Amino acid sequence: MRRYIFLGVFWLGLLWVICGCDTDKFLGYDYQAERVDHATTINGAVRNIFTEAPVARVRIDIGGQIAFTNNRGQFGMIYQSGEDEALSRPIPVRLSAANYFDFDTVLVIYPRDNRLDVRMVYAAPIIQSASLADSICTAQIMDYQGVEDIDSVISVGFYFLDETDSVFSHRILMGQIDTIDDYAAVYRSIIPDSLNGAGLIRPRYNIIAVDKSGFRDEIAFFSK
């Protein structure tokens, strides 16, 4: 009798070892394997296509996983792919940054040595220079998409009203007076010294440039 008990215990122990001490398997419960994630690195750099300058703070979306470029335009990402997600297949990629057109592409992810280098197109107009003399405000604006892409240029004067001890701004649409080349033009307006009883606060004034896609540049200047 003891012999049979011993053999029974022996075989139960052997089954326990074979099943790897997995009680769910041993007792016949439904068993599901845990998902195993695979990690691979992706490195790269983003530059301005026109100037080759690095582009900082670019948001990089690779298959829903996010990274950002540093001040040198470089980024690194540890990309996680699930067990059911095959490597060596194209993954959708979108890069976005302030004043740049979005950049869409695909990247084939390999087990190692993945790299993504991109040159993004600067979209916004650029205020190159401005001056204010004898109420005449002049600004030179350029746009990589061409002068015809510039929608409006605005000068902004700031005024102080003694009666209410308050400050307000006044915007004046600037007119194009000259074309430098296909990409740059000169604009001019009059910023009056007084407006509705208020006096112009010198030397500060602002220039705003907006293109037809809604991209804009704004700079505060100080007249001499």
Q: Is the pLDDT of residue 28 over 80?
A: no
* Amino acid of residue 201: I
Q: Is the pLDDT of residue 26 over 90?
A: no
Q: Is the pLDDT of residue 17 over 70?
A: no
Q: How confident is the model at residue 7 (pLDDT cuts 50, 70, 90)?
A: very low
pLDDT tens string 52-105: 999 999 999 999 999 999 999 999 999 998 654 556 778 999 999 999 999 999
Based on its alpha-carbon atoms, the radius of gyration of the chain, rounded to whole angstroms, reads 33
Q: Could you tell me which residue, 41 or 21, shows the higher pLDDT?
A: 41
Q: How confident is the model at residue 37 (pLDDT cuts 50, 70, 90)?
A: low
Mean pLDDT of the chain: 87
Contact 116, 93 (CB under 8 A): yes
Question: Where do the structural domains in the chain lie, given as residue ranges?
Answer: 38-120, 126-222
Provide, rounded to the nearest whole percent, the portion of the chain with pLDDT above 70. 81
Read off the tokens for 40.
């691979």
Placement of tokens 């979005």 in the chain: 102
pLDDT tens string 47-56: 999 999 999 9
Rounded Cα distance between 145 and 166, Å, is 40
Q: Count of CB atoms within 10 A of residue 206's CB?
A: 17
Helix (H) or strand (E) holding 164: none
pLDDT of residue 83: 55
Q: Could you tell me which residue, 126 or 223, shows the higher pLDDT?
A: 126
- DSSP assignments along 8-68, one per residue: HHHHHHHHHHHTTT-HHHHHT----PPP--EEEEEEEEEEETTT--B--S-EEEETTEEEE
Q: How confident is the model at residue 187 (pLDDT cuts 50, 70, 90)?
A: very high
Dihedral angle computed from the Cα positions of residues 164, 169, 173 and 176, in that order, rounded to the nearest 10 degrees: 120
pTM, two decimal places: 0.78
CATH topology of domain 126-222: Immunoglobulin-like (2.60.40)
pLDDT of residue 87: 63
Architecture of the 38-120 domain: Sandwich (2.60)
Spatial CB neighbours of 192, under 8 Å, sequence gap ≥ 6: 135, 157, 200
Q: Residue 37 phi/psi, 5° resolution?
A: -95, 145
pLDDT tens string 192-206: 999 999 999 989 999
Helix (H) or strand (E) holding 2: helix 2-18
Say if 38-120 and 126-222 have the same CATH topology. Answer: yes
Alpha-carbon distances, residue 146 vs 131, 175, 178, 182, 190 (angstroms): 23, 17, 14, 6, 25
